[in-house]
């Protein structure tokens, strides 16, 4: 760590913000952690849990005093926070975030910061269908991948310092442009979420006592993604709109091909499809596939 974080402000103390507070405090990375956010109950809880030391009376004043600011909220709320703090944040302070999409957030920051930009986009792959500071844990980021999304305007020392913080709390980082990040997570995360939600609708359409009894663990696992903050997902859909639509349209093509294979009773083609998928899925998850991992 080249830079002491001394005073840190976390805006949004839910699962991610709360876990970040616990993690940096446990590692002694921060002298003093201030929490800010909409929900007084969450802030009180975060302070009780030790994720923050102080509840901000005024968020802009807290940010002024901070050498590091961490924004963790639904994407559009992060965009609004960036607009609100940009005029007051110290020009040497580091600002990063945990937003699920990056292009919208980074472009707001670049519009408001003078060059070089001290805002560094982050996206920790440590989400959960659980939300709320009550699930926060200092180990949340251990072994997780964090996407770091600088542009050619981002201050390179700021990038390194943010990377150092993530490494210090156990995460691995990967650098990727905001645009490429959003294209990839559209397919690895956002389209799967929308699809999981629609699978629940498909079952709901034939809801009955028998339907509920026959809904098993397979459906439960494959739709667990759907059980997460609706506001967060609305914001993701709004800020990664074109990529998600592109992914859904591509998915529809696959769907049509499969309906056609079924209509043709083409069992060889279906078998080949399933085998290919099992093989590729192993390259994605390999040994990480245990249900309890």
**Which long-range contacts (C-beta less than 8 Å, at least 24 apart) are formed by 34-38?**
34/7, 34/8, 34/9, 34/10, 34/62, 34/65, 34/66, 35/9, 35/10, 36/9, 36/10, 36/11, 36/12, 36/62, 37/11, 37/12, 37/13, 37/73
**List 6, 92, 111, 202, residue binding a second copy (CB under 8 A):** 202
Residues 162-181 that bind a second copy (CB under 8 A): 174, 176, 180-181
191 binds a second copy (CB under 8 A): yes
In angstroms, give the least distance from the CB of 116 to a second copy.
Answer: 24
Binding segment for a second copy among 22-30, 101-109, 158-166, 285-293 (CB under 8 A)?
Answer: 285-293
CA–chain centroid gap for 288, Å, is 20
* Contact set for a second copy, span 260-279 (CB under 8 A): 262-263, 265, 267, 270-271, 273-278
Query: What minimum distance in Å lies between the beta carbon of 119 and a second copy?
Result: 21
In the list 2, 114, 206, 287, the residue contacting a second copy (rule: CB under 8 A) is 206
- Report the site for a second copy in 84-143 (rule: CB under 8 A): 125, 127-129
Nearer CB in complex with a second copy: 165/176: 176
> Do residues 32 and 53 lie in contact, with contact meaning Cβ atoms separated by under 8 Å?
yes
Distance between CA atoms of 108 and 103, rounded to whole angstroms? Answer: 9
41 binds a second copy (CB under 8 A): no
């Amino acid at each position: 760590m080249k830079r002491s974080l001394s005073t840190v402000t976390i805006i949004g103390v839910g699962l991610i913000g709360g876990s970040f507070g616990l993690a940096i405090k446990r590692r002694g990375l921060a002298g003093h952690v201030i929490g800010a956010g909409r929900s007084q109950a969450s802030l009180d809880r975060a302070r009780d849990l030790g994720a923050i030391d102080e509840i901000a009376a005024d968020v802009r004043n807290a940010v002024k005093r901070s050498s590091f600011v961490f924004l963790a909220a639904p994407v559009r709320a992060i965009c609004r926070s960036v607009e609100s703090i940009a005029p007051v944040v110290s020009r040497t302070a580091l600002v990063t975030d945990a937003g699920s999409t990056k292009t919208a957030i980074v472009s707001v920051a670049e519009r408001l910061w003078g060059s070089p930009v001290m805002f560094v986009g982050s996206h920790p792959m440590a989400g959960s269908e659980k939300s709320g500071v009550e699930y926060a844990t200092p180990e949340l980021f251990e072994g997780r991948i964090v996407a770091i999304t600088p542009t050619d305007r981002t201050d390179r020392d700021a990038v390194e310092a943010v990377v150092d913080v993530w490494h210090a709390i156990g995460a691995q980082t990967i650098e990727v442009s905001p645009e490429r990040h959003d294209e990839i997570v559209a397919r690895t995360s956002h389209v799967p979420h929308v699809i999981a939600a629609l699978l629940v609708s498909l079952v709901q359409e034939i809801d009955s006592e028998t339907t509920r009894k026959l809904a098993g663990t397979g459906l439960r696992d494959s739709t667990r993604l759907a059980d997460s903050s609706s506001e967060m997902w609305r914001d993701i859909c709004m800020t990664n709109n074109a990529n998600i639509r592109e992914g859904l349209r591509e998915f529809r093509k696959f769907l049509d091909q499969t309906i056609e294979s079924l209509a043709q009773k083409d069992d060889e083609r279906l078998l080949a499809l399933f085998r290919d998928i099992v093989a590729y899925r192993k390259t994605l998850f390999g040994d990480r596939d245990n249900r309890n991992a």
